Amino acid sequence: MASPRILIVDDEQTLARVLSFAFTNEAYRVEVASDGIDCMNKISTFEPDAVLMDIMMPKLDGLETIRLLRQHRLHRGLLIVAMSAKALPSDEQAALDAGADFFVKKPFQVAKVLETVLQRLAVSRGSRE
Partner 1 sequence: MTAVVQSYRNFRFLVRGVRWVELAICAFIVIFAREVAQLEFDREPVLIVFGLGIVWNTAFWYAGRRHLLRERGPAGARLLVWCWVVADVVTNLLVILFTGGVASPFLFSLALPVILSTIALGRARVCYGVAVGSALGVGAIWAMQDAGSLPVFAAYAPVTQQRLTTPEAAAAILAILATVLSLFVYMVFRFRPNFFVFQESLKDGRFRIRNFRAGHLRELQLDRVESVGPEDLLEEAVQGLTLARDISFGAAVILPSGSETLGGEAGKAWHRGLTPQRAVSTTRRQVIPTWSECDTESRTLFEQLRIGESDDLFEGPFTVLQEAGLFTSVDSADSYLATAIGELGRPEVLLIAGVSHPIEDRSAVVMHLFHVAAQLRPLLAAESRMCQMRGELSALHSENQSLSRVNKLQSDFVSIASHELKTPLTAIGAYTDALLMNAENSDFPERREFLTVIRHENDRLLRMINRILDFSQIEFGHRALNRRRTDLRSIVEESLLTLRPLIEEKDIEVRIEADPTLSEIAVDPDLTKQVFLNLIGNAAKFSPAHTSITVGIDEEATRLVAWVRDQGPGIPPDEIEHVFKQFYRVRGDGREVPEGSGLGLAIVKNILDMHGGSIDVESEEGEGACFRFVLPKQKYTNHEVPTVLGEVSLRPEFKHLMSLLVQMLADYMNCKIVSVMLLTADRESLRVQVAYGLDEEVVQNARVEVGDGIAGRVAASGRPLLVEDLRHEDHYEGQYPSQYETHSLVSVPMRLDTEVIGVINCNNKVTGEPFNADDLGLLITLAEKVTRALSRAMRFEDVRDELERTIGAIEALIEMESAEVGTSRLAVRLAMDLARRMGLTRHQILALQYACLVHDVGMTSVGAEIVGKRGPLTDDEFDRVRAHPNQGVSLIEPFLSADEVDEIIRYHHERVDGGGYPSGLTGEHIPLPARILAVIDAYDSMTSNRPYRASRTPAEAAAELVTNAGKQFDIEVVRAFLDVLAENAELSRSEYLALKEEQPWLHLVS
Is 58 or 77 the residue whose CB approaches partner 1 more closely? 58
Q: Does 64 bind partner 1 (CB under 8 A)?
A: no
Q: Is 17 helix (H, G, I), strand (E, B) or coil?
A: helix
Report 79-118 residues binding partner 1 (CB under 8 A).
85-86, 88, 106-111
Q: Does 27 bind partner 1 (CB under 8 A)?
A: no
- Segment lying near partner 1 (by CB under 8 A), choices 19-27, 65-73, 93-101, 116-124: 19-27
- Segment lying near partner 1 (by CB under 8 A), choices 16-24, 41-49, 74-82, 120-128: 16-24
Pairing of strands 29-33, 50-54: unpaired
Closest CA to 50 of 3, 107, 96: 3
Neighbouring C-beta atoms of residue 7, cutoff 10 Å? 23
* CA atoms in the 13 A half-sphere facing the CB of 102: 18
